[in-house]
Structure 1
Amino acid sequence: MKCFKDGEFLAIEEVKLSVDDRGYVFGDGVYEVIKVYDGVLFTAQEHLERLIESAAKIRMVLPYTVEQLIEIAEQLVQQNNLTVGHIYLQVTRGVAPRAHQFPNEFVSPVVIGYTVENPRPFAQLEMGAAMKSVEDMRWLRCDIKSLNLLGNVLAKQEAVESNCQEALFVRDGLVREGSASNVFGIKDGVLHTHPANHFILNGITRRVVLQLASELSIPVKEKEFTLTEALEMDEFFFTSTNAEITPVVTIDRQLIGEGVPGPLTRKLQKAFDAQLPMLLAAGHADERNANGSAS
């Protein structure tokens, strides 16, 4: 496997990380995950703009532009012959002696990227998933896609130990998001989701779903709702780069609706899938143009 580190593409065994890297010592950094379908990046611009926004929120300046990061991601896809999977990009504040305050201005961020083969989760998309509610004990800047994921890890583990595929964070009685996803409920034909504020990460797939809902004339209400209201939804689903639009059939072992993926969820899934052929055709055309093999 070829990885990217600070301007170089290296074999994975050549990548060296320092014990003084602030990402390792403090979790002082941010990251992004970009989906790849048929060798083409999906919503890369939006992901990488968010990476730069997350970095800015922790007062860190990335050494690359969005355009340069897209080029790096495309190179990783090509050099690893990635067909379906994802690109992981991580940026830490850099390598410096251990001290809580920021290092001096001469310390540069460390940028790492690599690929992971990861097929689409067709079985879960078709059959649906179970969620378990978990008290949200995380910090109050969930809008930053930071490396600090211990709260998410513990919640996910609690869900898995209850034979569920995802955790559902609840804070002050209000549903927030999943441990690695955003969540949506459908009641009487209206799509409900948490507003994009500091309590959740404004997911890229979340944004895609909201755009699809607008195109399909599905009413949307971006407003907090309770766990009780979640359990009373007609349909429920969660979204993420890798989970896409995953129906939820139970929460805390209670059936949602009839306990099967609902019609509006299916409609959104079909609309999501319908984007992909156009995306892939455009992506491959861009590749041919870049290689000079097509006009």
Structure 2
Amino acid sequence: MSALAYINGNYVDLSKAKVDALDRGHIYGDGLYEVIAIENGQLYQIDEHLERYEQGAKEMLYENHPSSSNLKEISQNLIDKSKINKGMIYLQVTRGTAPRAHAFPKPQKPNVFLFVKELADPNDTQKQDGVKTTLVPDERWNRCHVKSINLLPNCFYKEKARQEGYFEAIQVDNSKITEGTSTNVFGIKDGIIYTAPYGSKVLRGITRETILKLAKQENITVKENFITVENFLNCDEVFITSTTIKLLPVKQVDEVSFSVNEYETTFLLQEKLEEYIEDECN
């Protein structure tokens, strides 16, 4: 069974996983989520994802939410039951079901929902030749470091990108690059990697953190600074990262093209990331 879910204590077929209409995630988008990769039948970097979940739950004043150890056990059970070797776990915790009111319910009884699915890596063409991206305004709230299920601006611009033939939309706040709709963004100029600093406008991406660690190991200078659109478009190399795409080179940002065949640092980090994942999951 590959379409397997967990909902509030029960393992069911994904099509049968239901929550109440008054779930605050449904009414208000009052929920947190994580996407965890499955590599070689193992949960990859789940501890890092759950640490971020705990930080988000603390900031959003969640009470009685499931512990990291509990969620880790459920995630492992989903893998064991589904027999999926390569894929993802989607994890969502909302503040729970309660009469509709803006103030938080007392007591809080969170709804817990996870599901597992097979998921392939990006194809070789994307990994080698790169993807096209477009610049869009960053219209999100100022707690982007919290992985909230409130994703309407991200969805809107991801769809705009799709309709216009782009793989990803890269967001711009006051002429500065923040992040993609579902990715972290990096530019390389004169051998130095630039990426926006983690904070209110940038999620602490798990793959982002791994790339920064790998770059340090390779003695590559990294500057966690906001980069202007002008400087970004003048970079020698551009790439994006996330749990599901890992690392993809960018060959185009709107009308500006990049010579992916001349990329060196991007492909070095792509190789080192694949080696890192293999080492962690064997």
Alignment TM-score, normalising by the size of structure 1: 0.92
Give the RMSD, CA atoms, in angstroms.
Answer: 1.2
SS of the aligned residue for 1:88 comes to strand
Deviation at 1:220, TM superposition (A): 0.4
Deviation at 1:268, TM superposition (A): 0.2
Structure 2: distance between partners of 1:16 and 1:98:
18
SS of the aligned residue for 1:10 comes to strand
The aligned counterpart of 2:141 is: 139
Could you report, residue by residue, the CA deviation over 1:172-227 in whole angstroms, capped at 9, with x for unpaired residues? 00000000000000000001000111111110000000000011110000001111
The aligned counterpart of 2:198 is: 196
Please say if residues 251 and 257 of structure 2, whose CA atoms lie closer than 8 Å, have aligned partners that are also in contact. yes
Could you report, residue by residue, the CA deviation over 1:140-193 in whole angstroms, capped at 9, with x for unpaired residues? 111110010000001111111221100000010000000000000000000100
The aligned counterpart of 1:151 is: 153
The aligned counterpart of 1:110 is: 111
Please say if residues 85 and 119 of structure 1, whose CA atoms lie closer than 8 Å, have aligned partners that are also in contact. yes
Unpaired segments ≥5 residues, structure 2: none
Structure 1's 84 and 222: CA in aligned 2 closer, same or farther, altered over 3 A?
Answer: same
Q: Which runs of 4+ in 1 moved over 4 A?
A: none
SS of the aligned residue for 1:35 comes to strand
Deviation at 1:127, TM superposition (A): 1.7
The aligned counterpart of 1:17 is: 19
Equivalent residue pairs, number: 279
> In percent, how many aligned pairs have the same letter?
36
The aligned counterpart of 1:225 is: 227
Structure 1's 261 and 157: CA in aligned 2 closer, same or farther, altered over 3 A?
Answer: farther
Structure 1: distance between partners of 2:70 and 2:21:
28
The aligned counterpart of 2:98 is: 96
Q: Does 1:278 align with 2:274?
A: no
Q: Does 1:235 align with 2:212?
A: no
Whichever residue aligns with residue 102 of structure 2, its letter is H
Please say if residues 4 and 117 of structure 2, whose CA atoms lie closer than 8 Å, have aligned partners that are also in contact. no
Structure 2: distance between partners of 1:11 and 1:111:
15
The aligned counterpart of 1:285 is: none
SS of the aligned residue for 1:233 comes to coil
Unpaired segments ≥5 residues, structure 1: 282-295
Moved more, 68-77 or 265-274: 68-77
Please say if residues 36 and 44 of structure 2, whose CA atoms lie closer than 8 Å, have aligned partners that are also in contact. yes
Structure 1's 127 and 61: CA in aligned 2 closer, same or farther, altered over 3 A?
Answer: farther
Could you report, residue by residue, the CA deviation over 1:91-129 in whole angstroms, capped at 9, with x for unpaired residues? 000001111111111x30001000121101133112211
Please say if residues 52 and 62 of structure 1, whose CA atoms lie closer than 8 Å, have aligned partners that are also in contact. no
The aligned counterpart of 2:254 is: 252
Structure 2: distance between partners of 1:117 and 1:37:
10
